[in-house]
Each structure stands twice: as C-alpha cells, then as structure tokens.
Structure 1
Amino acid sequence: MITKRMLGRLAIAMATAGLMSAAAAETTIAYITNGNTNEGWTLINGGAKKAGQKAGVKFIELAAEKGELSKQLAIVEDMITRKVNAIAIAPVDSAGIAPAINKALAAGIKVVAVDTGISGAKITSYVATDNIKAAMVQGDWTAEQVKDGDTVIYITGDLGQSTGQERKKGFLDGLNAKRKNVKVVEVSTTWDQTMAQNGVETAMRANPGVKVIACAWDGGALGAKAALMAAGKKAGDVKIAGFDGSPGGLDMMKQGWQSANAAQMLAKIGQVGVETAIAAAEGKKVDARIDTGSFLVLPSNVDQFAKDSGVAQFMKVK
C-alpha cells in the first residue's frame, strides 16, 4: 500500500532528479576577450553578453589583463579544468594561444575564435569580419584619392595577430590594384593610439606632402587626428580612412576629420561568436568560417549606418 509519506518522498526524489537533470543540461560558455577596452571592443563584448543571456546557458566572461598572452593562456587552462562546454575567444596572439587551444580541443571543448583568428589549431569556427575584403575596399577608396607619386601613410595594427596581418594585406592589395606608383609609409603599432600619433608625427615630418592616412582601426585614426592637429592641420587637409565603424571613428567623420571608414558590424561579431559557441556546444553543426559583414561608410551615409548598426547611441556628435 502506497502511503502519503511514500508519495511525498517520491515527489521530493523526482524534484531532486529534475533539478540535477537541469543542472547537467546547462551549457557553460566561456567568453575570453583580449583585454582591449576601446569603443569597438565595448560593442563586441556587449554583443557577446547579449548572446550569453540565452536560457539554459551559463555565461562566463573573462579578459586577459593588460592584454597579456600569459594571462590569457592561464584563463584557458582554468576553463579546461572547469570543463566548460565551449570557449569563444578573441586571442591576444594568434599563434601564441594555440597550445592552450589545442589542449582545450583535445579535452572535447568547442572553440570559436572571435574577431581574430588562431593559427596552429584546428578550431571549431572563426567568426569575424572578412578583414582582407573590407581592407581591400579601404585600399580601393584610397587609390581614388591619390595620383602616381603621392604619399600615403598606413597605420598598422598588431602584426602578431591575424587581424593586423589581414588588414594590411587587404589595404595594400586594394591600393596597388588601382595605383601602383604610390609611396606607402608604414607606421607600426600594436593597436596603440599613442603609438599611432607618435608614428604619424614622425612620418609627416619626413613626408610633409602626405595625401591620405589609412588606419587599421579607428583608434589609429584618432591618433592620426591628434598628430594632424599638433602639426596645425585642419579637418580635411589630409584625408583619413578609418577601419571599424566605431563611435569615435564616426564622430570624426561627422566633424570632417575622417573621409571614409571600412566599418564592421561590431556588436554582431560578439553576438554571433557566442551564438556559434553555444550551437557547437549543443552538438549542432556550425560553419568553419562566418563573415559578419562590412560596409564602406562615407559622409553621405554615416547617419544611416550609425542608426542601423546601433553605434548611434554611443556617438557624441549627432
């Protein structure tokens, strides 16, 4: 005979089993960013957080302090120990992060590279702008602004990362396809705005007739603007081509300092990156390469792009 006490115990047991099952079914995603705190990364990280709010997902967000590879390696090792289901990561160093990523993959953890690729590891997916394609448009635009014999300054990103490498290659390919006889003066940086400013100041002293300054990211464009202002230049005296479509970059365009921007869909990069990690962790098939798109922003369409991309809410110049 089944008593009320027995039924009560059965109900408790079933409830406990249900809770244990729900806990076991929870998908844990680690989003490991690179420590950058500029406007572009604020948008990317915001998109990642939005995706991480999905029901049934435990979202862990971590950052490499001061953008140090050693810190990011330690974070990945910790996530392996904690047996997360998937890692979405914006690597500090494309090659340097590979040993830890290979260890994660061997442990059965799905790995999605966000914004920046990983070399030396067969990752689950790579979610980012097609940097070569977007930078080729930037280079093509630059070619239309100059003549044979003119000088162009190109501010690089970190060439230890695939993002910096691809943007430089795309820019030069786009420029040279239309205008081969142009002097390109390279200013090397590691995504550092102060390095960009100092490098442009030096380059302009040696090349006072520069026509265009093209930048691998909008922080570089802000550095270029500061260098031009220090040299007594006014908005439009030297054309600046940015890359990112960040709030600061588009503010520059509204002010007349930036003439073109190879804009990314910044929030979409983070959102799709984490969504892809969740899907892979749940056993769904995901594409090995996902292009989140890009758009050439000019003064004629800057307002519409800012509105459509969600960047407008962060802009200072309306």
Structure 2
Amino acid sequence: MFKKLVKASLFAAAATVALWPAMVAAPAAAQDGDNIDITIGWVPPDITGVFKTATNFFELAAADANKNGFNVKVLTKSPTSPTAFAEQVSIIEDMIQRKVDLIAVSPAEVATVKPALIRATEAGIPVVIVNLLEPIDGVNVSSYIGFDNTQGAEVSAYAVADYFGGPGVLGSGDKVDVQPDTYLDLKFWQGLAAKLSDEDKAKIKARGAIIEGVAGGFFSTARLNGFREVLKQFPGIEIVGGTCAGDWNREKGTRCAEDILQANPDNLDFIWAASNEMGLGAMLVAGSQGRLETTKDGANIGDKKVAIFTNDVTPESVDRIAEGKMIAETTHGFADWGWFGTKFAVELACGLEVPKTFDIRPRTVYETNARNFYPEPKLEAIDWKTIRANCKKAN
C-alpha cells in the first residue's frame, strides 16, 4: 500500500522542536545489525470510528519501521467509553508502570489526564499529545499532533453556507473551479466569504440543528464556538432548538437525530454533527425516514429532506460521501495522527528531535475529492533508514 504514498505538501510541521526530556540520559547507540526495540503506549479515548483509523495507522507505520531495523510494538488500550475519564487516567498510569518508551494520548478531557501526564514525564517517558494543538499548561509535552478544533468547525459551517447558496463547490450557489486536490481549508473558505456583501450573505437561508459531543467538554465547546461564530455572518441560516449531546457516540447521535427530526417534521434543512460517529447515526435515521438529502438532490429547500454535515473523516464516512449520502465532512487527519505519531515516538525514543507541533489543517471532503483521503490517503513517506542510523537508543 505504502509504495503508492506520495510526499505531499499538505502536511507541514512548525519549525519549533522539543528535545527528549533532559532528565533522561541518552544511552549508547545500538549496534548496526540490531533491531531496536521500542514500545509505544497509545491511549485513545475509545477504539471505534476515528480512533480505530488512527490506531490502524499507528500500526501500519510500526510495520513499516520494522522492515528497516526496528522492532516497534504499539500497545493500545482505551477506556470503555469516551466519557470514562478516570479509566483513561488509570490506563496512562499502567503504561507508566510498564515503562513503555513513549506514551501517545488523545485526551478524553485535558484537565482529567493532566496529572497523569505530569507523572509520565517525571518518570522519564516522553509524551505525545494527539488531537490537540493547544499547549497543556504545566506538562512537558514533547509534541502535539492535531488540529485546531475551532477551525475544524468553522470549515464545516462554511460548507453549510456554500451548500445553501454561497459560492464554493457544493449546492446551488456560484461554483468555484477547483482541482480535486485543492486544499479546501479555512483560508480557502474565508477568501470566498470575503467577496460577499452583507446582502449576499443574508440571501443564504436554511434551518438546521446541531448534535454536539460531550456537553461542556473542551472539544465540544471549541467546535460549537467555531461553527456558531461563522454562522453569525449568515443571518438567514437559523439553528433551531438547543444542541443535543451525542457524547461522540453513534448510538446517542442516532437518538439525538430521532428527537430532532420528530421535533421538526416539515422544515429542517440540515443537521450538523460535531463528529462523524454521530453524523453517521444522523444519516441512518434520516435515511430510514425517507428524509435524507443526497448530493443528487441539490439543496431542495422545503422538500422535507435533511442534509448531513459532520466532522472527522474515516474510511466509512468517505464511502458515504462518495455515494452522495453525506454532503460534506471536515477532515481532521486521523491517518496522519497514527502515521506521524509512530514516527515521532520512534524518534523521541531514539533521542532525536521532533516538531513541537504538527498542524493538520482541517479541510472539506466532499463527493468529488473523497477518494483523495481513503482507502489510500496521501501520506509523506518516512525515512526509517536515516532514523535508524541516527538512533541513540540501546536495547
């Protein structure tokens, strides 16, 4: 599979780097003929959906490394649900006791895991945070791999505005001529919106509902704020009712969608779900009721059909987008999380420098460009031979 991977300019790391913690003395390098043993403790908030995708790419990158002088093992363990915060802390503590070479964590909630992360770094275990760019105060994190959650939701809001009459690549508005590999990120959408007058923006009309994640949580709040902030520019886009908390879960997202559709039998144009597990649930409910808008329908406002927009992007959701069953989704780069998470973990275990932040800029996935993302995402090839040659770790 990875023979087909091409080095893309889509992925760029910030210049600032973090060194292996100074408290850990770098051991003598392994002999040239040895495979270097490295164990990565990977602690996602669950192991379904987006995190299954990230986990797959942690393991694929490890397999790639193991062809080039390494013996990398990815030890994955998650709590029973994304809201089992104490369980995630216990798992991190267990990784510390196991003396893994590095711990990669996607926090279910930042404040909850912070003390455990401090204990990991005090034990000399480097920490990589996945799914977050905002620094965690008081924790010596070696690298952050992720995206700005607020910006991710802003991209989704612009896609909604596009579909219901704005300029872009979706729906009924003026079409912009773009190539399939055009990076439809926040800068792209802001540039289009800047060309619209207030009168033009007011002509874009739709009624929608929101399914958020964990009510009051860091990630859910950031996404809600970003989505709502963009919609302030478009007074004709109305959000009906309060948000329904789906806890990032498909089953709960399904129940939210059922309640939303029941409360709005005639005049709902879209649902935005803050994650694709919840969005896929909403898609299934709307489809079962004959109310699912597809890309073939073309924003037929008033026909009782409901368009689904969401965030994340996994192989499953790409299939649904390619089929026209979801209008658009904002990608957060889950394949990148695992691919570069393993790369940075190995480099840190080897006593090498890694980027302090690795920003995966959110961008829009829709029917035309969906296959750029899965089943074979474009990822930068990793030069494992050079990493192995420079590795300072001894077995």
Report TM bin, short chain: 0.7 to 0.9
Aligned pair partner of 1:124 in 111, 120, 142: 142
TM superposition shift of 1:130: 3.0
Question: Match for residue 88 of structure 1?
Answer: 104
SS at match of 1:173: helix
SS at match of 1:190: coil
Question: Match for residue 200 of structure 1?
Answer: 257
Q: Does 1:228 align with 2:286?
A: yes
Question: Match for residue 327 of structure 2?
Answer: 259
Does the 8 A contact of 2:39 with 2:75 survive in 1?
no
Residue-by-residue CA offset, 1:242-294 (whole Å, 9 max, x unaligned)? 22222222222233321111123321111112222222233333333211233
User: Which AA in structure 1 matches 2:57?
Assistant: G
SS at match of 1:97: helix
Please show how residues 201-216 of structure 1 align to structure 2 within 5 Å: 201-208=258-265, 209-216=267-274
SS at match of 2:233: helix
Root mean square deviation of aligned Cα: 3.1
Number of matched pairs = 294
Aligned pair partner of 1:33 in 14, 20, 44: 44
Question: Match for residue 114 of structure 1?
Answer: 130
Write the distance in 2 (CA, Å) between the matches of 1:270 and 1:258: 25
TM superposition shift of 1:19: 8.8
Write the distance in 2 (CA, Å) between the matches of 1:221 and 1:290: 27
Does the 8 A contact of 1:157 with 1:188 survive in 2?
yes
Residue-by-residue CA offset, 1:78-120 (whole Å, 9 max, x unaligned)? 2222333321112233221111111111122111111257845
Write the distance in 2 (CA, Å) between the matches of 1:124 and 1:302: 33
User: Which AA in structure 2 matches 1:71?
Assistant: E
Flag the structure with larger Rg. Answer: 1
Structure 1 unaligned runs (5+)?
1-17, 312-318
Question: Match for residue 66 of structure 1?
Answer: 80
Structure 2 unaligned runs (5+)?
1-28, 165-202, 295-304, 380-395
Q: Does 1:103 align with 2:119?
A: yes
Does the 8 A contact of 1:152 with 1:214 survive in 2?
yes
User: Which AA in structure 1 matches 2:263?
Assistant: A
How high is the TM-score relative to the length of structure 2?
Answer: 0.65
Does the 8 A contact of 2:312 with 2:329 survive in 1?
yes
Question: Match for residue 315 of structure 1?
Answer: none
User: Which stretch shows the higher mean deviation, 110-119 or 221-230?
Assistant: 110-119
More helix by share: 1
Write the distance in 1 (CA, Å) between the matches of 2:341 and 2:206: 40
TM superposition shift of 1:310: 6.9
Question: Match for residue 43 of structure 1?
Answer: 53
Call closer, same or farther: CA 1:178–1:19 in 2, change over 3 Å: closer
SS at match of 1:258: coil
TM superposition shift of 1:241: 0.9
Question: Match for residue 190 of structure 1?
Answer: 247
Residue-by-residue CA offset, 1:231-250 (whole Å, 9 max, x unaligned)? 33243321111222222222
How high is the TM-score relative to the length of structure 1?
Answer: 0.80
User: Which stretch shows the higher mean deviation, 143-152 or 278-287?
Assistant: 143-152
User: Which stretch shows the higher mean deviation, 40-49 or 171-180?
Assistant: 171-180
